[in-house]
């Protein structure tokens, strides 16, 4: 899932203070699962912003709505009947959702309530970690199912580097060395000879180096 976290409240208050009518929109997908922008978080943020406005003596009208998904035009359309009553949309979706609001409603301010962080999963309640960098050319079958792009700080294809100490990364001792994890997996799988294979330089055109990406599935388009 896409993992995000709410921006500092003071930043959101500063961003929204010029507006008197605010539509706060949450998303039922990834940001609900990572407790950043679902219905509950929208409710809390709306209460906090209402309190901030009341304290400052500013009039503020808020409507809360949480859509099934904010990265799909059909759901973004659901706010069209009432969006004209509001000056701005405060999006509790990931930055994809915020941009969908900006694209769909060109005359409305689309404000981000979240910092969209990474693609990852949960390690335990309240803890999430990055697992995919979206490089566009998966090599997990060659690295024992551990991604060197997402989990090695240097994105090395033939690691580890000299900074790996006791299984930890030199960037931060709390980060496990991605290549140590790969080695441990290869040992567990009985595939240590695979480690000796030298990986060729990666073609980063499938990643961000090729510019913004798009996938077109002819069999699905109408």
Partner 1 sequence: MRLSYPANVLIIQIPCSGRIKTIHLLRALQYGADGVLVAGCREGECHFRTGNFRARCKVERVKEILDDLGLGADRVEMYNLSASMGPRFAEIAQEMTARIKELGPNPLRGPRPGENVAAALRPMVTQT
Asked if 161 is part of the footprint of partner 1 (rule: CB under 8 A), the reply reads no
Asked if 13 is part of the footprint of partner 1 (rule: CB under 8 A), the reply reads yes
Closest to partner 1 by CB, 122 vs 153, is 122
Asked if 59 is part of the footprint of partner 1 (rule: CB under 8 A), the reply reads no
Reading the block at residue 213, the tokens are: 């990406």
Closest to partner 1 by CB, 49 vs 67, is 49
Give the bridge partners for 83, in sequence order: none
- State the minimum distance, in angstroms, from the CB of residue 180 to partner 1: 33
Give the bridge partners for 121, in sequence order: 129
Asked if 137 is part of the footprint of partner 1 (rule: CB under 8 A), the reply reads no
The Cα 136–Cα 55 span in angstroms is: 48
- State the minimum distance, in angstroms, from the CB of residue 44 to partner 1: 5
By DSSP bridging, strand 88-91 and strand 109-112 are parallel
| Full 3-state SS string of 118-151 | EEEEEEECCEEEEEECCCCCCCHHHCCCCCHHHH
Asked if 14 is part of the footprint of partner 1 (rule: CB under 8 A), the reply reads no
What region, left, alpha or beta, does residue 193 occupy, with left being phi > 0 and alpha being psi -120 to 50 degrees?
alpha
Sign, CA torsion 209/215/216/219: positive
- Of 37-45, 72-80, 110-118, 149-157, the segment contacting partner 1 by CB under 8 A is 37-45
Asked if 8 is part of the footprint of partner 1 (rule: CB under 8 A), the reply reads yes
Asked if 138 is part of the footprint of partner 1 (rule: CB under 8 A), the reply reads no
Residues in touch with partner 1 (CB under 8 A)? 8-10, 13, 40, 43-44, 47-48, 50-52, 54-55
């Amino acid at each position: 899932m896409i993992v995000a976290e709410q921006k500092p409240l003071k930043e959101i208050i500063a961003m929204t203070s010029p507006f008197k009518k605010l539509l706060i929109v949450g998303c039922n997908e990834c940001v609900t699962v990572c407790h950043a922008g679902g219905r509950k978080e929208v409710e809390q943020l709306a209460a906090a912003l209402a309190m901030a406005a009341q304290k400052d003596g500013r009039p503020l009208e808020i409507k809360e709505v949480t859509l099934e998904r904010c990265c799909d035009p059909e759901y973004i359309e659901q706010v069209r009947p009432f969006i004209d009553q509001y000056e701005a949309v405060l999006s509790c979706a990931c930055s994809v959702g915020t941009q969908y609001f900006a694209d769909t409603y060109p005359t409305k301010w689309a404000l981000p309530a979240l910092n969209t962080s990474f693609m990852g999963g949960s390690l335990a309640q309240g803890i999430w970690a990055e697992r995919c960098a979206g490089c566009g050319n998966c090599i997990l079958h060659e690295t024992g199912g551990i991604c060197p792009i997402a989990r090695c700080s240097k994105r090395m294809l033939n690691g580890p580097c000299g900074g790996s100490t006791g299984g930890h990364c030199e960037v931060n001792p709390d980060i496990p060395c991605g290549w140590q994890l790969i080695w441990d997996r290869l040992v567990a799988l009985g595939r240590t000879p695979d480690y000796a294979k030298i990986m060729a330089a990666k073609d980063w055109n499938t990643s961000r180096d090729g510019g913004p990406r798009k996938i077109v599935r002819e069999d699905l388009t109408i």
